[in-house]
């Protein structure tokens, strides 16, 4: 299905600013739908020669959570014209909210039509006192279920009418604050209506319950909410901020969402000014008790910090082990023993790299490209070769889970060391000074993902494998580690072979599906 932007750009001449305003409206109009107990359909006139009545295209739709829908089928993408859209045409041309007319029927469902013009009013429009209607909201109420006119319903409908007038005036929805998401308290979470002096004229049962969690056990009606928020907050600065935002909404300001904490409870609030026809008559405050959500988030943050600290300590311990092995290697006279200890240092250091990255990550996954680059650089620095060897990486490993990254870095470390030391070192019967001095060595690490598998190739342009070489029969510890980790921990496969153009390549395939 096409998006709102796609439909508007294809069928209308609306500007990017107009389209952005429609997007903001679609992000905030669930509030209006729930307060109205009605479906909202966003209609735009189709470009072309004016027709009477025009044809309209539905580019967005929202159903109420508080009432049954008037439409069982999705209306987005539908084009209508003729008498069916006469009310939309009136709202567009006369630039007013249309509420006349008898109920209409959609199959067996009776519905009441209303039409609300949508304006975008910027600073220039305010100075000139003019703004153009860019779309029309159809507010269609399912009349099949009779509703008792309770105090809650009357306050909902009154507030919905105020917001509808603000949509028509171009003052709703408000501009979105930087970094603010569309998540907000919903109508069913709790609403409080304030008069122009800031006193509560209505509080829904859920709103009353939320403030009781904060420690206020009396009725909210008649209370000055700004003073109450300041008094209840556990943090005086936070309380003053909450109070100022409520007072700002009474002055017509759209404040960002904020949380109030007291007595171990957390309540998310959003204050919206009510400005029908540009006259401030009070404010609407949406509230939601998010105590349990924040408690779980804090528990997860504590667990996450603990895991990162563990990885940091493991990294430090591994670096200590590597340092001890390095000291021991310096005290060993036997060349073979010293070489074995130095290889152990490199293996431990490669594992430490993974834990260092995990200690700075917010989850149990690492960006592996940086680790590969550091391991490759270390391999060229420590390996003894007859001439310089250049390392190069092609493709990207991407983000890998910790259980794969730890084993994979060990495998790549061994493959890179083998490629440099055995691919470019002089044979035992050849003098290093005469061993192809003009030759330049290169090792390429290639990675790509295919069908939930990671394919890795380590290729060099060195001497190649000795004749009759069998990896499974090799007694080298490095190759034994590679084979054990590739087929065991990584549940993959490893193949070593000579390249057609000379040199050696190791092909590793690792499944990435969850274990």
- Whether the Cβ atoms of residue 266 and residue 214 lie closer than 8 Å to each other: no
Closest CA to 483 of 506, 505, 499: 506
State the Rg of the chain over Cα.
34
Maximum alpha-carbon separation in the chain: 103
* Cα–Cα distance list, 196 to 48, 51, 64, 202, 272 (Å): 45, 44, 28, 13, 12
Contact 505, 458 (CB under 8 A): yes
pLDDT at 127: 46
SS3 451: coil
Choose among 515, 321, 259: nearest CA to 404: 515
Residues 380-384: contacts with CB under 8 Å, at least 24 apart: 380/420, 382/342, 382/346, 382/417, 383/417, 383/420, 383/421, 384/421, 384/425
Place of tokens 């907050």: 233
At residue 50, the pLDDT reads 59
30: Cα separation from own chain's centroid: 21
CA distances to 62, 331, 335, 382, 388 from 342, in Å: 66, 12, 10, 9, 21
Whole-angstrom distance between the N-terminal and C-terminal Cα of the chain? 35
Cis bond before residue 3 (omega within 30° of 0): no
Please report where in the chains the tokens 């107990």 appear, as a residue.
37
Cβ–Cβ under 8 Å, residues 290 and 266: yes
Q: Which long-range contacts (CB under 8 A, 24 or more apart) does 313-321 make?
A: 314/352, 314/355, 315/352, 315/355, 315/356, 315/359, 318/348, 318/349, 318/351, 318/352, 318/355, 319/349, 319/352, 321/348
Write down the residue that tokens 């404010």 correspond to.
283
Checking DSSP bridges between strand 441-449 and strand 389-395, what pairing results, if any? parallel
Contact of 281 with 171, CB cutoff 8 Å:
no
Return the C-alpha torsion angle 395, 400, 402, 403, nearest 10. -90
Residue 37: how many other CB atoms lie within 10 Å: 20
Helix (H) or strand (E) holding 9: helix 4-11
Q: Which residues of the chain have pLDDT under 50?
A: 123-129, 429, 431-438
> What integer pLDDT is reported at residue 321 of this predicted model?
86
Burial 170-187 (b: 16+ CB within 10 A, else e): bbbbeebeeeeeeebbbb
Using a 10 angstrom Cβ sphere, with 0-12 exposed, 13-18 middle and 19 or more buried, the burial of residue 470 is exposed
The pLDDT value recorded for residue 436 is 42
Distance (Å, whole) CA 110 – CA 105: 4
Contacts of 145 (CB under 8 A, 6+ apart): 67, 68
């Amino acid at each position: 299905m096409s998006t709102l932007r796609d439909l508007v750009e294809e069928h209308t001449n609306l500007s990017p600013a107009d389209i952005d305003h429609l997007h903001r409206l679609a992000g905030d109009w669930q509030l209006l739908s729930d307060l109205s107990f009605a479906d909202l359909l966003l209609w735009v006139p189709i470009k072309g020669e004016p027709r009477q009545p025009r044809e309209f295209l539905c580019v967005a739709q929202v159903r109420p959570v508080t009432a049954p829908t008037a439409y069982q089928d999705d209306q987005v993408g539908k084009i209508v014209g003729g008498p069916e859209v006469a009310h939309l045409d009136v709202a567009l041309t006369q630039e007013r909210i249309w509420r006349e007319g008898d109920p209409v029927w959609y199959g067996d469902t009776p519905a009441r039509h209303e039409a609300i013009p949508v304006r975008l009013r910027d600073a220039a429009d305010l100075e000139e006192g003019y703004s153009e209607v860019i779309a029309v909201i159809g507010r269609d109420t399912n009349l099949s279920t009779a509703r008792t006119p309770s105090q809650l319903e009357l306050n909902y409908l009154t507030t919905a009418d105020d917001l509808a007038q603000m949509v028509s005036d171009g003052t709703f929805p408000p501009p979105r604050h930087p970094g603010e998401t569309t998540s907000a308290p919903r109508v069913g979470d709790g609403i409080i209506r304030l008069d122009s002096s800031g006193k509560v004229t209505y509080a829904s049962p859920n709103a009353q319950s939320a403030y009781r969690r904060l420690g206020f056990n009396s009725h909210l009606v008649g209370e000055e909410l700004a003073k109450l928020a300041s008094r209840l907050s556990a943090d005086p600065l936070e309380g003053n901020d909450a109070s100022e935002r409520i007072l700002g909404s009474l002055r017509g300001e759209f404040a960002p969402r904020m949380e109030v904490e007291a007595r171990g409870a957390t309540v998310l609030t959003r204050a919206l000014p009510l400005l029908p026809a540009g006259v401030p008559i009070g404010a609407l405050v949406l509230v939601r008790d998010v105590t349990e959500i924040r408690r779980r988030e804090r528990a997860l943050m504590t667990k996450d910090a603990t895991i990162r600290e563990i990885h940091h300590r493991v990294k430090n311990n591994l670096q200590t082990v590597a340092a001890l092995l390095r000291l021991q290697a310096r005290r060993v006279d036997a060349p073979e023993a010293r070489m074995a200890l130095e290889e152990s240092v490199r293996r431990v250091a490669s594992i430490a790299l993974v834990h260092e990255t995990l200690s700075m990550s917010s989850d149990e996954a690492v960006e592996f490209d940086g680790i590969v680059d550091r391991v490759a650089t270390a391999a060229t620095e420590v390996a003894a070769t007859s001439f310089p060897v250049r390392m190069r990486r092609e493709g990207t490993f991407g983000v890998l889970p910790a259980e794969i990254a730890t084993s994979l870095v060990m495998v790549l470390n061994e493959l890179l060391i083998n490629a440099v030391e055995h691919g470019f070192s002089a044979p035992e019967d050849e003098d290093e000074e005469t061993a192809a001095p003009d030759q330049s060595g290169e090792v390429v690490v290639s990675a790509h993902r295919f069908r939930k598998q990671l394919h890795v190739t380590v290729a060099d342009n060195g001497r190649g494998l000795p004749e009759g070489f069998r990896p499974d029969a090799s007694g080298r510890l490095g190759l034994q580690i590679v084979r054990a980790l590739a087929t065991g921990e990584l549940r993959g496969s490893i193949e070593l072979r000579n390249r057609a153009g000379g040199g050696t390549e190791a092909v590793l395939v690792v499944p990435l599906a969850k274990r």
